């Protein structure tokens, strides 16, 4: 039976300072993830380490700047809430965080336009200054090709698509993708192989379809 305390043991002043310095220089390791909800400095290091990765994850699936900002914030808030339940042996920090991101983005996509039509767009805008907005626009533009690939994945089964997205778009290793989706590595490998084969067939089919808008050349 697994026995772990609900929260990490409070460190003494020196060890805390050393932990913060290490987190800022080398990243927040598995031993510190559970502290992000109780230590603002550790959370700040965790946020800085992963915010661009999370923004890319969201931007690959949405093309709305304000919604990308909103969901990025929601993902980190959810990570704070989930931090006491983090288990290092189940997933490294990056895979754990993208697992949370995947659930939140999928939920948002399912709700779709029905919610967004009645939602004020001010919240995301007020969090962004002009420089932040420009950076997010650039990031969304930079992943436009990934969004096109993501759209082509829509016809794949959900389980296969999830593994393929995490490996091909979000650049996780197969082991990390397995952890983010709650699969065993062998099962993730099988799904990845099937997804790649089906996606290749989809793209090949599109490539050989005649373009109805192309005018006949003389």
Q: State the DSSP string of 112-175.
A: HHHHHHTS-SHHHHHT--HHHHHHHHHHHHHTHHHHHHHHHHTTS-HHHHHHHIIIIIS---HH
pLDDT digits (tens, 9 = 90+) for 37-49: 888 998 999 999 9
* Tokens coding 40: 């603002």
What are the extents of the domains in the chain? 26-111+123-142, 144-209
Is the fold of 26-111+123-142 the same as that of 144-209?
no
Whether 70 has a pLDDT exceeding 80, the answer reads yes
Nearest to 93 by CA among 33, 23, 165, 175: 33
Predicted local distance difference test score (pLDDT) of residue 13 = 74
Q: How much is the pLDDT for 23?
A: 76
Residue with tokens 């003494």: 12
3-state secondary structure of 9: coil
Quick one: pLDDT at residue 104?
A: 93
pTM: 0.66
- CATH code linked to domain 144-209: 1.10.10.10
Does the domain formed by 26-111+123-142 have CATH 1.10.1740.10? Answer: yes
Percent of the chain with pLDDT over 70: 68
Residue-wise pLDDT for 10-54, tens only, equals 556 777 777 777 778 888 889 999 999 888 998 999 999 999 999
């Amino acid at each position: 039976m697994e026995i772990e305390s609900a929260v990490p043991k409070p460190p003494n002043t020196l060890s805390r300072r050393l932990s913060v310095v290490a987190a800022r220089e080398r990243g927040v390791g598995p031993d510190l993830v559970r502290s992000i909800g109780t230590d603002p400095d550790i959370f700040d290091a965790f946020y800085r380490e992963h915010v661009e990765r999370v923004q890319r994850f969201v931007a690959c699936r949405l093309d709305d700047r304000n919604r990308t900002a909103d969901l990025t914030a929601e993902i980190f808030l959810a990570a704070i809430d989930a931090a006491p339940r983090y288990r290092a042996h189940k997933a490294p920090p990056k895979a754990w965080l993208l697992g949370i991101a995947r659930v939140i983005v999928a939920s948002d996509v399912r709700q779709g336009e029905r919610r967004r039509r009645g939602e004020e767009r001010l919240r995301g805008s007020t969090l962004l200054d002009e420089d932040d907005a420009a950076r997010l626009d650039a990031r969304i533009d930079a992943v436009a090709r990934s969004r096109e690939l993501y759209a082509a994945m829509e016809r794949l089964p959900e389980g296969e698509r999830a593994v393929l997205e995490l490996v091909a778009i979000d650049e996780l290793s197969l082991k990390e993708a397995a952890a983010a989706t709650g699969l065993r590595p062998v099962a993730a490998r099988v799904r990845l192989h099937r997804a790649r084969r089906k996606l290749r067939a989809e793209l090949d089919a599109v490539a050989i379809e005649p373009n109805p808008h192309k005018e006949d050349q003389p």
